Amino acid sequence: MSSWHWQSDAAPFGASQEIMTDLAVGDDRTDEGADLDLVNLVHQRLIAEIDPLKLHSLGHQQAYDAVINAAKRTLAEVSPQTFGESRDLVLDAVADEVLGLGPIEKLVRDNAVSEIMVNGPELVYFEQAGVIYKTRIRFRDDEHIMRIIQRIVAPLGRRVDEASPYVDARLPDGSRVNIIIPPISFRGPLITIRKFLGDKYTIQDLVAVNTLTEPVAQFLADAIKAKLNVLISGGTGTGKTTLLNALSAFIGDRERIVTIEDPAEVRLQQEHVLGLEVRPANIEGKNEVTQRDLVRNALRMRPDRIIVGEVRGSEAFDMMQAMNTGHEGSLTTVHANSPRDALARLENMVLMAGYELPVTAIREQIASAIHLIIQISRLADGSRRVVSVGEITGQEGTTITMQDLFVFERRGVDADGHILGELVPTGIRPHYQHLFAAAGIDLPVEMFLRQM
């Protein structure tokens, strides 16, 4: 029963907001779910009874019906006193054990859930709309978690054991999974799944949820059309890739785009897109393909634009070189909490390339390569907001000079705890206005006037 088919759209498991609500801890919740020992007993009986190859040759609905029918018969034998809602809970849990990821399968199916975190048998959390909730979900023990881990990694051709105690991989639906086990994790096996929800958010979608304003959205769209090099900076889970995807819609259909990722998350709408993905080393530690390898190779593929999902290491040097040598309009993201922090991280990553360059030369390269830095943050209420849009204007001595065009102004908190505020212009006109003009784009003066 080790094979697993990722089925996020299975008919009997329709994702809904109700699933999340039922699983979250609440003061008025008393139901603790199915009896785990009984679920395990029925599951073990089914392992001996059902042919896994035959089961997985069926369609998902047929497989689900087969498991439920077999579980009903087994449950009637081992626990005839279990009926009604208790019986339904056991049957659903058994189906999740056989066909899905056990106790966390309901979270996997819920499209409202963006992240799943298993910190221990009784410590399971999920994230929705930027807020983390503790659930009532339970595993029997660490061994139960390990069985689900093996269910995850086996179809990916990966392994997790004492010799290789952690895995970072992409699931068949595009979601990312990170697994770490003892001895590296002293508290037991840990699972973190960042779900790929498949939603193609447009810039107007982001305006609608107040991630940015209409004028800023228009300015950024024009910046992409004018082929400015854009760096999106933000912390974990702030929506950097979502924003990058939305902005990429403004790249021309006639342009040849190469994307480089670890793992693949960018979903471009253009036809002429070449996607490259990092390959980890095999179990012998060989055949690794790094982001730097891919950036170097991308330069030989005649790209009009290069998109690096997230710069993390020495590939930053090659990315800066590409931006400085005719590959305008490139986009990338970086994990940083402020624009200055983003520049410092880029500098450190360029140093990782192994070239003995003076700091001044590195900063000159960054200053001439990057035009715009967009800072996106997750606020205390869980909302994701663009908090600044700034330009790199040059260099004074050893310092890279910058100016903000738009900044987020916080105006308070409403009765529901939502942060009030919006991006407002600083009153500064763009330093790179000549690049917009060269692309035939006329930026309206009113866009940058600060309202008094």
Q: Worst-scoring range by mean pLDDT, 156-160, 164-168, 255-259, 307-311?
A: 156-160
Least confident stretch, 17-31, 155-169, 222-236: 17-31
> Which of 25-34, 68-77, 87-96, 366-375 has the weakest average pLDDT?
25-34
List of residues 6+ apart from 289 with CB closer than 8 A: 278, 279
Task: Return the minimum-mean-pLDDT range out of 325-329, 333-337, 367-371.
Answer: 325-329
Q: Which residue has the higher pLDDT, 1 or 190?
A: 190
What average pLDDT does this structure show over 87-114? Answer: 84
The letter for the amino acid at 114 is S
Q: Please check whether the domain covering 203-448 is classified as CATH 3.50.50.60.
A: no
pLDDT at position 415 is 87
DSSP three-state, residue 422? strand
Percentage of the chain modeled with pLDDT above 90 = 38
**pLDDT-based confidence at 223, cuts 50/70/90?**
very high
DSSP assignment letter at 295: H
Q: What span, in angstroms and rounded, lies between the C-alpha atoms of 343 and 114? A: 29
112: left (phi over 0), alpha (psi -120 to 50) or beta: alpha
Span 219-241, average pLDDT? 93
Q: Are 119 and 190 a contacting pair, CB within 8 Å? A: yes
Look-up: residue for tokens 């107007």?
A: 204
* pLDDT score of 33 more than 70: no
Residue 21 confidence (pLDDT): 47
Q: Is 232 helix (H, G, I), strand (E, B) or coil?
A: strand
pLDDT score for 211: 93
**HSE on the CB side for 180, CA within 13 Å?**
9
What is 11-194's CATH number?
3.30.450.380
pLDDT of residue 22: 57
Q: What is the predicted pLDDT for the residue at 220?
A: 97
The predicted-structure confidence for 283-296, as pLDDT tens digits, reads as follows 666 788 888 888 88
- Paired strand residues for 406: 389, 425
Question: Can you give the pLDDT at residue 296?
Answer: 86
Q: 255-269, pLDDT tens digit by residue?
A: 999 988 776 677 777
pLDDT digits (tens, 9 = 90+) for 365-410: 999 999 999 999 999 888 899 999 999 999 998 899 999 999 999 9
Whole-number average pLDDT of the chain:
83
Average pLDDT over residues 299-309: 88
Instruction: Kindly list the domain boundaries of the chain, sorted by start residue.
Output: 11-194, 203-448
More confident residue, 120 or 75: 120
Which of 246-255, 283-292, 321-330 is predicted least confidently? 283-292
pLDDT tier, 16 (very low <50, low <70, confident <90, very high otherwise):
very low
State the helix-helix crossing angle for 339-351 and 315-324, rounded to 10 degrees: 110
CB 385 within 8 A of CB 405: no
- Report pLDDT digits (tens) over 406-431: 999 999 988 888 899 999 999 999 99
Beta-strand runs (E) in 165-311: 166-170, 176-180, 190-194, 230-234, 257-261, 273-277, 305-308
